[in-house]
Structure formats: structure tokens, C-alpha cells
Chain A
Amino acid sequence: MPRPPFQRLLDEHAAALLRFCVASTGPIDADDVFQETVVAALRAYPQLRHTDNLKGWLLTIAHHKALDLHRARARHAVPVAEPEPPGHVDGHAPVDDALWRAVDGLPPKQRGAVLLRFVGDLSHREIATALGSTEAAARRSLSDGLAKLRQDWVPA
């Protein structure tokens, strides 16, 4: 199957992709993670074999870039536990600080599962592919993550 021009992927999926980056890394780093995702996707695009789920493919790359960032943050942890300033940053939608703090506190697979499902709108099977796990494990990560979020987050 021929590959659509890359711009079409951006037209169709950039909003979900950016939302996913903001949700998984916070408004400050989201732009950079989004850029790295787009660059990595463009580099890989000519060799991509399956073009039937391009949104899932893009979000999988974004998920890995977000994991890289979380690992880097853990390595360079600053003593002050003040993750991200709240509010309106760089044109992004106002961020519910308490929610993103709760999301930030989830274990990586749960965070990935919750955000791929509710920000990226992926199916359970697509989430499993992105996380590199079975569908059953993806469902478990999703329900555990949601349960923990419901515990930790109270709507403003």
C-alpha cells in the first residue's frame, strides 16, 4: 500500500499527538517531545511496512519519547519536588495541574495505557502493541492506572 504524504498524517493526527505529549510530559517539555516524535517518524516513514494504523504508530513513537524523557528526568532528578508549573504555557490549553501530577505519578505502563486510551483514543489491541505487552496486560495496566487516578485526583 502506498504511503500517504506525511503532511496528511500531521493534518489528521497532530492534535491527538500533541495532546498525548502534553499529558505524558507536561506543558514545558511537550513541545520538544512532539518535535522528536515528528522527526523520528519522518526518519522511519520510508521503511515503514504497515500503513494501516498510522495513528497508533505515531502515538507509539510518542510514548517511547515520553518514556525517554521520564528516564532522563529520573537521572537528573532535582531535589525540589515541583514537577511543572501549572496553567497556560506556550499556547497550550490550561492544564489541570493536579491531574497531570497524578498522571505523572503513575508507573510507566499504566500512564502509557491510560493516556493512549483516553488522550490518543487507541483500542486495547493498539495500546498493547504500543506498550509491547499482551492485550490482557494492557487492559490490566489501563484499569489499574484509572483506579489509581480516581484515588489520587479530585476534580477542581
Chain B
Amino acid sequence: MTSSDPLTAALAAPIEADAVADAVRRATERAHAEGAVDVTYAEVDSPLGPLLAARTQTGLVRLAYRDFNGGTDAVLDHLSIRVSPRIVEAPRDLDDVRRQLDEYFNGDRRAFDLPVDLSLAAGFTQRILQAIAAIPFGATASYRDVAAKAGNEKAVRAAGNACSANPVPIVVPCHRVLRTGGGLGGYTGGVEKKERLLRLEGHPLG
């Protein structure tokens, strides 16, 4: 079966990449419509760098800084293990996420109107993230505040850990959580991103 054999060469004739991409899109859209897909995702650009957005039937399950989380492959591997391996790329399915992020970064949106799926966070972490989700645009809270709101004001370290494990930064605004004395604290995407987000929301920093 050398390639000089006209029969096997004809059998192996390739198909255009565009035709393959179209067929894949139609197939994954149908699978999604028929309930055979659990997670859809898309790569999204932002002023803070490239993001990966993923959603389940419940809501936005992951918003990852690709340059800070090992890239698309690593983020998808993690979703595959922790949520479901039935993951397909579906840019249209993330259109509302992309649009609301654009509006937010353009200064035209102060709150996200997106259902969120916190299934990547467990127990107390989830309660901390729910407390953080309630901090409005322009405001900040301390790690102690959110720990107290989640039901244990002594769990300041746990609050910090929950922030660094936030699966949906920006939308669950962990950048609004600061040290008790007003210090910035850390950030899941690097502290310079936290500064940019806070400036965007009108904080006079440094």
C-alpha cells in the first residue's frame, strides 16, 4: 500500500479542512440539541488577555485566564475530569458571555446577567463565592467580610483560598475582595489583573 498505488491513493484522498469543520459544527450542534453534550466552550478575547469560557446546562462553569491556567488544553482537561468529558467547542453558545464581557470592559455594564454553575467549587468555597457574587460593582469587601457572610468569620484563610480557586473570575468578582487593611491581596490571574479590574470599576489605586 504505497501511495503510488492509484487505488489506495484514491481511497485516502483528503477532504478540505473547511468541509470537516462544517461537518463537525453541524454534528456537535445536533448532539447538543439532543442532550448529548454537557459542556460547551469558546475562546474569548479580553483586555486582560485571552480567556476560555465554558458553560453547562446550569450556567457559566469556567472563565479561565488562558495565560495563567496552562492554556486551553489544561483548562479542558480539568473540566473533563471534574465536570464531564462530553465537552465540545461551540462559540455561538457562549455569545451572551462574550457580549456581556465586552460591555463590561467597555464600561457599559456594571452587573453580569449570566447564570453561574459553581459545581467546580465545593462546600464552604461555594458559600464564599456566593458571598462574593453579592458584592456590587464599585464596592469592595475584606476577606473577613466574605468569610463572615459565608457563615464563619474566622475562616479568613479559607476565604483567600476560595478566591484563588474561583472558577469564574470577573463574573464572580473576587477582584473586589481586599485585605482588611486595604491591601490588594492576591488574584487568580495575577495581581496586575486585579488592579486593572478595580481601576475599571473606579477605584483610585495607589
Contact = CB atoms under 8 A, between A and B. Distances in A.
Interface of A: 2-8, 10, 14-15, 18-19, 22-23, 31, 34-35, 37-39, 42-43, 45-46, 90-93, 96, 99, 103, 114-115, 117-119, 121, 146, 149-150, 153, 155
B191 interface: no
B79 interface: yes
Nearest to A3: B85
Contacts of B19: 18, 90-93
Interface residues of B, number: 40
Given A4-B80, A6-B37, 20 more contacts: A4-B85, A6-B87, A10-B88, A14-B20, A15-B15, A19-B13, A22-B15, A31-B23, A34-B23, A35-B23, A35-B30, A38-B31, A42-B31, A42-B36, A42-B88, A45-B85, A93-B14, A93-B19, A118-B8, A119-B12
B14 A10 contact: no
Contacts of A99: 7, 10-11
A93 B28 CA distance: 21
Contacts of B39: 5
SS class, residues of chain B in contact with chain A: helix
15 contacts: A2-B85, A5-B76, A6-B85, A6-B87, A7-B76, A18-B19, A31-B23, A34-B23, A35-B26, A42-B37, A96-B10, A99-B10, A99-B11, A118-B11, A150-B7
A34 B10 CA distance: 20
Contacts of A91: 16, 18-19, 22
